[in-house]
Amino acid sequence: MQPGAAATTLNVLCGVDESWCSVMKAAFQAKTGTEITMVRKSTGEILDQVRAERDRPTVDVWWGGTGDTHLQAASEDLLQPYKSPQERDLLPWAQNFYAMSGGRSAGVYAGALGFAYNLKLLGQYKVPAPTCWRDLTNSAYRGLIQSGNPNSSGTAFTTLATFVQLFGEEEAFRFMEILDRNIADYTKAGAEPVKAAARGETLIGISFMHDAVTQKEAGSPLVIVAPCEGTGYEIGAVSIVKGARNLDASRAFVDFALSPEGQATGIAAGQNQVPSNAKAALPATAPDISMIKMVDYDFATFGSPEERSRLLRRFDTDILAVH
């Protein structure tokens, strides 16, 4: 089939929580009548698939997941330029992201990185409550922390890039070497650490704060921490894959994802990210990003293929190889 020709089904790779993938799929199908195949994968896995299928893409749209991976795909000419009519209503940080991508990716939501601990387990283990990143290196937490694997998880790559920007690269890797002694597992998906903490399977999970809020709202005894040193953040994005077989439907999906109606599917799915459309409703329990100490996250640098690949190689060698 020729690129841009009509296809019977719109194929979407989804990088957000499974529940949001399902709600978004149903909402778009109900609005447009377009059939969707929606597959949930971690952000790094999506990037790998889009790369592998460069010459014969099976995917039309990549929706959700950390923006630096979308920027990397844009820089590798894997994405199709598109400016949605919704772009004019997006908040400044989303408009900046669109410009940074060369018009190939649009910001859908934002969320701050942090960690959460299980208050019930904290009492059982009789350990101090952490408030800073450096607190997590305390030997009292040996084997009691989970974080994502940055090779597959966009959340975890944001964590890696945040440490580098907060501490400087050499100090960041020294910090991660010490932190590694306390980490029981590097998970494939970035939200899994706080889900494990919510279930009582680990004491502390490093994830985006909105993922922890979702678990807390469901009744889990989580305490959510914005680390004292400051933290990084993500811009979740939506992109059309270059060579998409169903271009009109792909554009319609992007328009819907950026609209107040489309962004409301996040609240409907119990998600707590900050939406990019200025006219969209803010989830009542969303973390107030304006009150969190943030690093001036360098999306251009950490979204570049060279820097991302280099840092992942160093993480594999210095951290995972000795874990």
Q: What is the pLDDT of residue 310?
A: 97
Confidence tier at 300 by pLDDT (50, 70, 90): confident
pLDDT at residue 4 greater than cutoff 50? no
Show the beta-strand stretches assigned E in 85-231: 106-118, 145-148, 183-187, 204-208, 222-225
CA dihedral angle for residue 142, residue 146, residue 150, residue 155, rounded to 10 degrees: -140
Residues 210-263: tens digit of each pLDDT: 999 999 999 999 999 999 999 999 999 999 999 999 999 999 999 999 999 999
- Close Cβ partners of 59 (under 8 Å, ≥ 6 residues apart): 11, 12, 13, 49, 50, 53, 241, 244
In the prediction, which pLDDT does 245 show? 94
pLDDT tens across 196-211, in order?
999 999 999 999 999 9
Taking the CA of residue 144 as centre, how many other CA atoms within 13 Å lie in the half-sphere pointing to its CB?
A: 23
- Beta carbons of 175 and 315 less than 8 angstroms apart: no
Alpha carbon separation from 309 to 150, 151, 280 (Å, rounded): 11, 9, 35
Q: Is the pLDDT of residue 303 over 90?
A: no
First and final CA of the chain: distance in angstroms? 46
Q: Report the C-alpha dihedral over residues 244, 249, 252, 253, rounded to 10 degrees.
A: -70
Residue 278 pLDDT greater than 60, yes or no: yes
Mean per-residue pLDDT, 104-115: 97
29 pLDDT above the threshold of 90:
yes
- Which DSSP string corresponds to 86-154? GGGGB-HHHHHHHHHTTSS-EEEEEEEEEEEEEHHHHHHHT-PPP-STGGGG-GGGTT-EEEE-TTT-H
Question: Average pLDDT in the 55-60 region?
Answer: 97
**Distance of alpha carbon 155 from alpha carbon 161, whole angstroms:** 10
Task: Indicate whether 5 pLDDT > 80.
Answer: no
Q: Across the strands, what pairs with 194?
A: none
Q: What is the mean pLDDT of residues 27-48?
A: 96
The pair phi, psi for residue 24, each rounded to 5°, is -65, -45
Please tell me the predicted confidence (pLDDT) of residue 289.
Answer: 84
pLDDT bracket for residue 2 (50, 70, 90) = very low
Residue 288 has a pLDDT of: 85
- Give me the chain's average pLDDT, please: 94
pTM of the model: 0.88
Calculate what percentage of the chain has a pLDDT beyond 90.
92
**Separation between Cα atoms, residue 67 and residue 302, nearest integer Å:** 10
pLDDT given for residue 1 in this prediction: 37
Distance CA 253, CA 259 (A): 10
Measured distance CA(294)–CA(232) in Å, rounded: 6
Is pLDDT above 70 for 56?
yes
User: In the prediction, which pLDDT does 172 show?
Assistant: 98
CA 138, CA 158: separation in Å to the nearest integer? 22
Distance of alpha carbon 163 from alpha carbon 166, whole angstroms: 5
Bridge partners of 291? none
Q: What is residue 89's predicted lDDT score, i.e. its pLDDT?
A: 97
Residue pair 60/244 in contact (Cβ under 8 Å)? The answer is: yes
CA distance 116 to 130: 9
Rounded to the nearest angstrom, the gap between the alpha carbon of residue 217 and the centroid of all alpha carbons in its chain is 20
| Residue 303 to residue 72: CA distance in whole angstroms | 5
Confidence of residue 290 (pLDDT cuts 50, 70, 90): confident
Which of helix, strand or coil describes residue 113?
A: strand
The pLDDT value recorded for residue 230 is: 96
pLDDT of 40 higher than 70: yes
Of the candidates 235, 303, 253, which has an alpha carbon nearest to the alpha carbon of residue 96?
Answer: 235
Region 263-273: mean pLDDT is 95
Spatial separation of the C-alpha atoms in residues 208 and 147, rounded to whole Å: 11
- Structure tokens, 197: 């903490």
Q: Which amino acid is at 217?
A: E
- The whole-number average pLDDT for the span 176-192 is 96
